[in-house]
DNA sequence: ACTGTGTCTGTAACACTGTTACAGACCGCC
DNA sequence: GGCGGTCTGTAACAGTGTTACAGACACAGT
């Protein structure tokens, strides 16, 4: 079990291009970052590496496997950020915001992960840092797992909201148009607020703080 | 503007199969519900209706338009559930859980919406009900919009977690395997809790309550 | 040195996808 | 009758993931 990334560094016998599985995954990740998730095609990637498509398949298996490997790789790269903060709550919040901001900064890969249903894979390595902070804050066992998952729910939801592309669906279905023409019984001020573009970063921070405060014990004084 | 669903009921002249745009969307929705998002193919849908593919394109435009119409239709169907509850907070919470449960019950369409980035479209009609409850609870303007979006973040994140299919990615990348073999400094009890399958319905309820309590004014006495 | 054997790699194809050009059938209308 | 707009089928185009197959290369054995 666990036969991933167990290839010895000294060049194994019988190869012609010197391509590694890790090389292919790295090239695929780079391609997605440069030209978006839609550019990740087996033929395109093969051309990028100056190689035939079967070579890709020989090294990585299927496209789903390739995407999973890309997401895992990105997850590991994201996990290297340090966490700072004074109180336990602050540190947990900072770790969660690291996850969110890291995913936003590499939105191409985050979109890819979402489309393929591997978003939880992308966040996994950062969960570890979050769990460490949660345990430092005094949580353990099921309570810690619950807190972690609540936070992940908020981060994931925020990402979906932040990465959605309004221009993708037809004019009549855009959020502001829907609200402007809706027959719902809403105050005009509220309707205007709903039509406006939300500040998702601030929204994420507020929602996260509510959830963190709810799960993590600590000073109840702050507003 | 707003030229959607403005086709008169009496059969328009010049047709042969009597197919309506609404009929096609309904058939597509039914197909997705019965056989999953992957079964939604233009040829498959055409065969289902005993028709050629260009007929579909003639009526609905592109596949993206079709998906958007499906999601909007489902959204309207979901919006018919009544909301009950004693306090304002309870009613808001109940409305949010309606959104969540409705999406879970029709997970095929919810998955389709997620893959195509139209999840916010699916939830839109239910937002209206939620906003009504929020305004009843005393929120208006930006505060109301913020509360709504925080709640939507939680619902969306919960759906992503609930609908992810662990069997989709390779064995070594499943959540429990990752945690079991992780080198993170975590208590054994916490590790066990992280490997276990989460009760997402309960998780959603807890997280929602935290967010609702944070945004909606009301009795602070309950635990 | 000759022959394997296992590790890669390219050519070419298969089955499938969304999409469209085009020709034609049908309807109401003049 | 003919005209024109509303559909509808046939057939194709370009592109996708994937694989069967044949070959080239490096090393091991004799």
pLDDT tens for each residue of chain B, 223 residues long: 333 333 333 334 445 667 889 999 999 999 999 999 999 999 999 999 999 999 999 999 999 999 999 999 999 988 877 778 888 889 999 989 988 999 999 999 999 999 999 999 999 988 888 998 999 888 988 999 999 999 999 999 999 999 987 777 778 888 888 888 877 788 999 999 999 999 999 999 999 999 999 998 876 544 4
Quote the minimal CA–CA distance from B198 to chain A in Å: 8
Residue A3 has pLDDT above 60, yes or no: no
CA B173 to CA B177: how far, in whole Å? 7
Region A98-123: mean pLDDT is: 93
* Residues B163, B111 contacting (CB under 8 angstroms): yes
Residue whose CA lies closest to nucleotide D8 C1': B55
Tokens of B63: 């596949």
Taking only the tens place, the pLDDT of each residue in A174-207 is 888 888 887 778 898 999 999 999 999 999 999 9
Q: What is the mean pLDDT of chain A?
A: 86
Mean pLDDT along residues A130-159: 93
pLDDT of residue B158: 96
- The two three-digit tokens of residue B152, written as one number: 């939507």
Minimal Cα distance from A177: which residue of B?
Answer: B2
Window A2-61, strand C contacts by Cβ < 7 Å = 12-19, 50-55, 58-59
Q: Which of the residue ranges A25-29, A217-221, B163-167 would you say has the lowest mean pLDDT?
A: A217-221
Token pair of A29 as six digits: 């990740």
- Residue pair A103/A123 in contact (Cβ under 8 Å)? The answer is yes
Contacts of residue A214 in chain B, CB cutoff 8 Å? 210, 213-214
Task: Report whether pLDDT(A11) > 80.
Answer: no
How remote is the C-alpha of B172 from its chain's centroid?
29
SS3 for A193?
helix
Rounded to an integer, what distance in angstroms lies between the CA atom of residue B109 and that of residue B143?
31
Verify if strand C has an atom below 7 Å from the CB of B77. no
Least CA distance to B72: which residue of chain A? A173
How confident is the model at residue B15, as a pLDDT? 54
Confidence band for A169, pLDDT divided at 50, 70 and 90: confident
Interface contact flag, B117 A141, Cβ < 8 Å: no
Q: Can you give the pTM of this predicted structure? A: 0.87
Residues 6+ apart with CB under 8 A from A22: A5, A7
Strand, coil or helix: A161: helix
> How many angstroms away from the CA of B51 is the closest CA of chain A?
25
């Amino acid at each position: 079990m666990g036969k991933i990334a167990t290839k010895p560094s000294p060049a194994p016998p019988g190869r012609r291009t010197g391509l590694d599985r890790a090389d292919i995954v790295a090239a695929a990740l780079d391609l997605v970052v440069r030209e978006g998730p839609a550019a990740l095609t087996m033929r395109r990637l093969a051309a990028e590496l100056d190689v035939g498509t079967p070579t890709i398949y020989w090294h990585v298996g299927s496209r789903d496997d390739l995407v999973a490997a890309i997401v895992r790789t990105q997850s590991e790269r994201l996990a290297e950020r340090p966490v700072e903060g004074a109180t336990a709550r602050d540190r947990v919040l900072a770790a969660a915001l690291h996850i969110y901001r890291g995913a936003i900064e590499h939105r191409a890969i985050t979109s890819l992960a979402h489309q393929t249903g591997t978003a939880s894979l992308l966040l996994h390595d950062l969960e570890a840092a979050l769990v460490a902070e949660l345990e430092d804050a005094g949580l353990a066992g099921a309570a810690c797992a619950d807190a972690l998952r609540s936070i992940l729910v908020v981060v994931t939801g925020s990402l979906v909201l932040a990465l959605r592309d309004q221009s993708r669906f037809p004019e009549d279905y855009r959020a502001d148009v829907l609200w402007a023409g809706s027959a719902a019984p809403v105050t005009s001020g509220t309707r205007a607020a709903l039509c406006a573009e939300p500040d998702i970063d601030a929204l994420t921070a507020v929602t996260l703080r509510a959830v963190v405060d709810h799960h993590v014990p600590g000073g109840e004084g702050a507003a």
